[in-house]
Amino acid sequence: MTSAPRGLTFPRPLDAVHSFKFKTSVVVGAALFTSSVSFWITAQWQFRYALLMALFVAFVVTWVLAHGMTSPLREMTGAVRRMSKGDYSIRVRATSRDEIGTLATAFNQMADDLADEDRYRREVIGNVAHELRTPVAALHAVLENLVDGVRVPDRDALTLALNQTDRLGRLITELLDLSRVQGGAMALDHRPVALRPFADAAVAECRLRMATGGTATSGVATGTPGSRADIRLHVEIDDDLAVEADEARLHQVLANLLDNAVRHSPPAGTVCVGARRDGETVVVEVADQGAGIAPDERTRIFERFTRGGSRDGGTGLGLAIARWVVDLHGGEIGVVDDPHGCRIRVRLPARRPAI
C-alpha cells in the first residue's frame, strides 16, 4: 500500500504549465509586475517604505509560485531518505505537467518497482525457509538418534539420511527454478500431463508421508508420526483426462493441497481428488471432511503467512505457493462451497488437441 506525502498540501498554481523554463519566466514576470503595482499604489509613501513594500510583495509572490515548482523535488528527497531505510510506501505528488512532473511520475514508477522487488525478495526468502525446514528437521532427527545411540548406524538409517540429503538437493534446485520463473528468467516446461497417473503418484507419496509421519515437499502438514495414517485417500479421475502444464510445478500444487486436506481431516476421514473437463479448462478438486473454511477467510488463506485459524505451527505458505504456481499456469484456484468440509478447486488450461 502506497501513501501520499505527509504534511500540509499547498496549492500549485503553475501545474498546468508544460515547460519549467516558461514557469521560471512566469515567476520572474509576476514578481516584477506585482512589485511595480505595489510601488505604484504606495507612491505617496516615503520612498524607502514604498520600496520595502514592493520588495515584500515580490518576495511573497515568488515564494508562492516557486514553492509549487520545487515541492516535487523536496518530496522526492524525503522519499529517497525513507527508501534508504527500507520504506517503499511513500509517493510524491505528480500533478505538474512540466519536466519535474514527468520526473515525479517516473520516480513513483521506480518506487513501485522497488517495492515489488523488495516484496518478491521477502517472499523468496520465506519460501526457501518454509520449503527447507522439513527435510532439515528430518535429517537432524536421524543424526540425533544415531549420536544418542537410539539407532545404530545400519544401512536403513544411513539410507534414510541419504534420502533426506537428496531431497534437500532437489528442493534447492526447484526453489531456484521457481524464483527464475516468477522473475521471468525462465519459462515453464509445458507438456501434456495425464492426470490419472499423475494424481495416483501424488496420492501414493502422500500415503507414504502419512505412514511415516512426514510432510509434503512444501512443508504444509506438520503432524506427529502416524497421526493421520487412518485417513483414506480416493482418486476419481478419468484415464484420458490431461492438461498442458509443467509437471514438476503442478506436483507442488497437488502435494500442498493433499497435505493440507489430510492435516484438516477428522480421524478416519476421506480425502478425495477429482478432475473433470469443463469447456477449454480442466477442473481439479481436492476435498476433505474437515470443518471447512469460513467464507470471509476463503480469499485470505491464499495469502502468505495466513493460516486460516490453524494453530499447528505452520507458516501458512503452502496454499500461497499453490496459488503462485497456478497463476503462473494461467489458471485459477479458490475455495468452493461444500457442506461436508473444505473443497479447493483449481482450473487449468486443458491439453491442446493434437494436429
| Span 51-67, pLDDT tens digits | 788 888 888 877 777 76
> Cell numbers 523535488 correspond to what residue?
73
Q: What is the pLDDT of residue 274?
A: 93
Quote the pLDDT of residue 219: 37
Instruction: Tell me the C-alpha distance between 256 and 317, whole Å.
Output: 10
Q: What is the mean pLDDT of residues 262-269?
A: 86
> 122, 305 in Cβ contact below 8 A?
no
Highest averaged pLDDT of the listed ranges 9-18, 158-167, 210-219, 253-262: 253-262
Q: What is the mean pLDDT of residues 252-281?
A: 88
Q: How confident is the model at residue 283 (pLDDT cuts 50, 70, 90)?
A: very high
Amino acid identity of residue 78, one-letter, is G
Q: Identify which has the larger pLDDT, 342 or 58.
A: 342
Cα 256 from chain centroid (whole Å): 17
Mean pLDDT of 181-189: 66
- pLDDT at site 271: 93
**CATH 3.30.565.10 residue window(s) in the chain:** 188-355
Task: Tell me the per-residue pLDDT of 196-225, one tens digit each, with 9 for 90 and over.
Answer: 999 998 898 888 777 765 544 433 333 333
Nearest C-alpha neighbor of 188 from the set 243, 232, 240: 243
Higher pLDDT, 201 or 68: 201
Architecture, CATH, for domain 188-355: 2-Layer Sandwich (3.30)
Q: CB–CB of 303/324 below 8 Å?
A: no
pLDDT (tens digit per residue) in 76-114: 888 888 888 888 888 887 777 677 777 888 888 888 888
Q: Is the pTM of this model over 0.75?
A: no
pLDDT for residue 297: 79
Other beta carbons within 10 Å of 338: 16
